[in-house]
Structure 1
Amino acid sequence: MAGLCSNSIDGETLEKARRELNEDPDTREQVIADFRAAIEEKENDPELEGVVFERKDSPFLLRFLRAKKFDQSRSLSLYMKYHTIRRDHGKIFTEDDSSANLSHILSSGILYVLNGRTRNGEKVVCIRPEKWDMEQDPAERMIRTVLLILDKLLEDEETQVHGIRVFEYFQGIEFGQLWKFSQTEAVKNGTFVKILQDSTPIRLKGVHFLCQPWYISLVLTIVKPFMKEKLRQRLHIHGTDFTELHSLMDTSLLPAELNGTGPPLEYFIASRLFKDELGEQGGGAEGVVNQNEENEQ
């Protein structure tokens, strides 16, 4: 009964899923069925009033099981938090979160997804805060856009298994921009951290700060108390030393801005992931390929 995995997932990845995530292809479908039944038992819970479980299909549920290493209890908790946080933070989630509505941010040069994968198989999302105009696009809209990108990447089973890394590229950021970001409600009350850490079915393998100014400590001082120890240990502060970065990922896959031999960062604009939905708006730089037509490792 191994039919749920797509043909795109290779034997090495399946072995990694078995070894690291406790995934057994022979029992996977039954585990998902049991997980779905546990969710359905929760649907009439008074504490979940106003919560709508829109998706209970197998591919969607598999994301949560993989994120929590097939632990039913932890997977169920994550699934519940995924939905309750959408009920409890209406300011973030009530607006249209389609790629068409968020196309401005997707095309603005703030968010990128690199081609290929790290040597460990992770996908890389690159963020360039310097390009963020918070007057035009408040933090709530940025959070929705990041989640839209993550959801798109999680359609790929390889990414579900291997995970995602985030590169924060701070070149050109000004003190005023970081200060304004540090004072947003989503940062001060830890909402952004809680959404990524506790309410999204991803394996977040690392957050890398690149070319960061000294005043990045303003933000870290605020957000670190909301981070679990596991996430704190996955923060990497590189400055302008990209040695560790180059050991993590082949330099041919890194943009010139990160001392790679690949094309400029703009080539990897996030809107290219949604070119089918956005049409010409989603094309990115000329010659950009679809994420499934990657130059692997």
Structure 2
Amino acid sequence: MPSLRPLSAQLAKKAADELFEKPERIDEDLAALRAWLAKCPHIKSRTDDQFLTMFLRGCKHSLERAKEKLDMYYTVRTALPELMRNRDPEEPKLLELIKMGVAVPLPNTVTPDGPRIILVRPGVYDPSKYTIQEVFRYNTMMTDIMMKEDDNLVVAGQMGILDLSNCTMAHFLQFSPTFVKKATMWSQEGSPLRQKGFHYVNTPSGFEVVYNLFKNFLNEKNRSRLYVHGSNLDSLYEHIPKAMLPAEYGGDAGPIQEIVDAWAKKIISYRDYFKEEDQYGTDEKKRPGRPKNADSLFGLEGSFRKLECSPSLDCHVMVNLRPISAALHEKAKRELNEKPERIEEDLAALRQWLARTPHIRARIDDQFLVTFLRGCKYSLERAKEKIDMFYSVRTAIPELMRNRDPDRERIREIVRLGVGLPLPLTDGPDAPRIMLIRPGVYDPKQYTIEEVIKVSTMINDILMLEDDNMVIAGQVGILDLANVTSAHFLQFTPTFVKKMTMMSQEGSPLRQKGFHYINTPTGFETVFNMFKSFMSEKNRSRLYVHGSNLEKLYQHIPKRLLPKEYGGEGDSLKDITANWEKKILSYREYFLEEDQYGTDERKRVGKAKTADSLFGMEGSFRRLEVD
């Protein structure tokens, strides 16, 4: 039998239910891991049962994944000597950090099979005295001990509370892109532990606004695990009861310093263990194949991708639809599952469904409906759901979607500002449409965010009707934050952000293919980097923060596509704006007609979709719903 610490009955059940643990198989799996390690000349690893079982549990008892994780665990640690070597808890500076308790596990869990709660308080250390590497080295020591001792952590995962009180810009500026990449690699690819949630408390002004800019790029699972409470601890208590929390957080678990002191003693007692740790790792000279070093693990090569396009401009004509280029036709077939011979049948099916759906009044022309088929990769059921949500959301936000008469003076004023502009050219015939967004050009004292976004919806509607690159290849955004003030950010209330998110995601058939942030304010990239680790790899690879370095932007979007004001070779912003003003005015009848389309929730079969049910803010500061 394996030499393992016995689990509680509750944790044993969780391990069986969630991690597919079968006690009768563990001995065999451990033997297989040891046999594999014996054949890996480049890895020098601990091989005790408790250590190896942690990787089996972290990989849900997949032997192959456990092997990969174990290799990456030691590979990353070897590549990070500044964090993982010379971790002597009696070294004076490190001992000071240990006694501060920048991060500390709380003694109790909410339930016997609940995740371990980690309280992180970066504001307690002085960034002029301690580097982020020194702080993080302490964090790795605490984590190593928990991995060795804490079955709740290994089986049920960890829940973080990040208290940002007393954090200054000096703290944020320590999070360089290189360090964030290393920390992310250590905590994700190089760790067998599972993150079950994160709660942000005592957040600075503007934190939630910046977070909301990025939340669309989080996957559903990670969205549901992130909570921003501001200074509202009552909101935190709904997730983590007072009984778990230190007295300083209104809790019943005693003073935080007592918890910190107990952990300081524990870490010091592990001094010999940490000395031993320096002998374990990888020897990349012995690795079969290509070595994995700091450059290959944390280097930024490959993070900028060149858009590929076909030189062909031959056209393929579809029945009852605007012809699309051969390049777009090929992309639609390859990426959207488009089969020209099936389109007519699919359009007929959508019309028949709409005829049987009393609560929706929709446009039914081919060009409009095919947008939803393409946006849903030709899944009829998803297209139906998307059309329903498209009109449900629009009906629920009349302040954005009704009375969009482009002849109204106030609308024309905003159009002439050119807050959001599609650029005329794409990087090839099958490339996405590029959208330039410049919120800094409007005065938030003169215009509300609702008025500005109303104009944006008008441009978007025209693109949906006219722009095959947008519909088939998606859109790439450039968000220029020059001249953006706190007054702009404060217009993004939680309610408004929720409406925008719903409209741009659930209520839109269009696909976001990338976003570039330029002329960003100080600290913007740091806050963004805090959230990158929660994004999927696909979405991480689509977001770029360039600051004021337009040369970096040109690596993704060539100068020939950009306006002259951005060092480009394209039309001037003035000309692009003037052309769009004419185009929007030419659609006046269309926008006047639009008010007749939407949903009548009194006729919906089942529960009505109202503004409250779609955008209701109950729990919005606690559970951020993001893609």
Q: What's the TM-score, normalizing by structure 1? A: 0.77
Q: Percent identity?
A: 25
Cα-to-partner distance string for 1:38-75 (whole Å, 9 max, x where unaligned): 232222xxxx4xxx423112111011111111111111
Does the C-alpha gap of structure 1 residues 25 and 146 become closer, same or farther in structure 2, counting only changes over 3 Å? same
Does the C-alpha gap of structure 1 residues 6 and 245 become closer, same or farther in structure 2, counting only changes over 3 Å? same
> Would the aligned equivalents of 1:118 and 1:248 in 2 still touch at CA under 8 Å?
no
Of residues 254, 268, 273, the one that matches 2:580 is: 273
Distance in structure 2 (CA, Å) of the matches to 1:254 and 1:66: 28
Matches within 5 A, 1:116-265: 116-119=425-428, 121-154=431-464, 155-174=466-485, 176-183=486-493, 185-187=495-497, 190-214=498-522, 216=524, 234-265=542-573
Distance in structure 1 (CA, Å) of the matches to 2:335 and 2:356: 29
Letter in 2 for 1:117: T
Of residues 319, 323, 326, the one that matches 1:3 is: 319
Distance in structure 1 (CA, Å) of the matches to 2:484 and 2:389: 33
> Would the aligned equivalents of 2:476 and 2:512 in 1 still touch at CA under 8 Å?
yes
What secondary structure is seen at the aligned counterpart in 2 of 1:29?
helix
> Would the aligned equivalents of 1:106 and 1:145 in 2 still touch at CA under 8 Å?
yes
Shift of 1:169: 0.7
What's 1:100 paired with? 407
Of residues 32, 35, 43, the one that matches 2:347 is: 32
What's 1:58 paired with? 366
Does the C-alpha gap of structure 1 residues 240 and 173 become closer, same or farther in structure 2, counting only changes over 3 Å? same
Of residues 105, 108, 111, the one that matches 2:420 is: 111
Larger Rg: 2
How many residue pairs were aligned? Answer: 263
Does the C-alpha gap of structure 1 residues 65 and 228 become closer, same or farther in structure 2, counting only changes over 3 Å? farther
Shift of 1:11: 1.2
Distance in structure 2 (CA, Å) of the matches to 1:253 and 1:26: 35
Distance in structure 2 (CA, Å) of the matches to 1:229 and 1:58: 35
Distance in structure 1 (CA, Å) of the matches to 2:420 and 2:460: 11
Cα-to-partner distance string for 1:81-119 (whole Å, 9 max, x where unaligned): 11111222233333x113323222110132222121134
Q: Higher mean Cα deviation, 101-110 or 55-64?
A: 101-110
Cα-to-partner distance string for 1:10-63 (whole Å, 9 max, x where unaligned): 1121111111111111111111111222232222xxxx4xxx423112111011
Cα-to-partner distance string for 1:169-223 (whole Å, 9 max, x where unaligned): 112222x234323337412xx11122111212212212221111135579979x9
Shift of 1:274: 4.2
Q: Higher mean Cα deviation, 126-135 or 65-74?
A: 126-135
- Larger relative contact order, structure 1 or 2 (CA cutoff 8 Å, min sep 6): 1
What secondary structure is seen at the aligned counterpart in 1 of 2:417?
coil
CA RMSD of aligned residues (A): 3.0
Letter in 1 for 2:441: K
Distance in structure 2 (CA, Å) of the matches to 1:202 and 1:259: 29
Does the C-alpha gap of structure 1 residues 132 and 185 become closer, same or farther in structure 2, counting only changes over 3 Å? farther
Does the C-alpha gap of structure 1 residues 228 and 193 become closer, same or farther in structure 2, counting only changes over 3 Å? farther
Of residues 14, 34, 41, the one that matches 2:329 is: 14
Distance in structure 1 (CA, Å) of the matches to 2:492 and 2:461: 25
Stretches of structure 1 lacking an aligned partner (at least 5 in a row): 280-297
Distance in structure 2 (CA, Å) of the matches to 1:277 and 1:178: 25
Distance in structure 1 (CA, Å) of the matches to 2:474 and 2:415: 21
1:69 paired to 2:384? no
Q: Higher mean Cα deviation, 103-112 or 28-37?
A: 103-112
> Would the aligned equivalents of 2:459 and 2:584 in 1 still touch at CA under 8 Å?
no
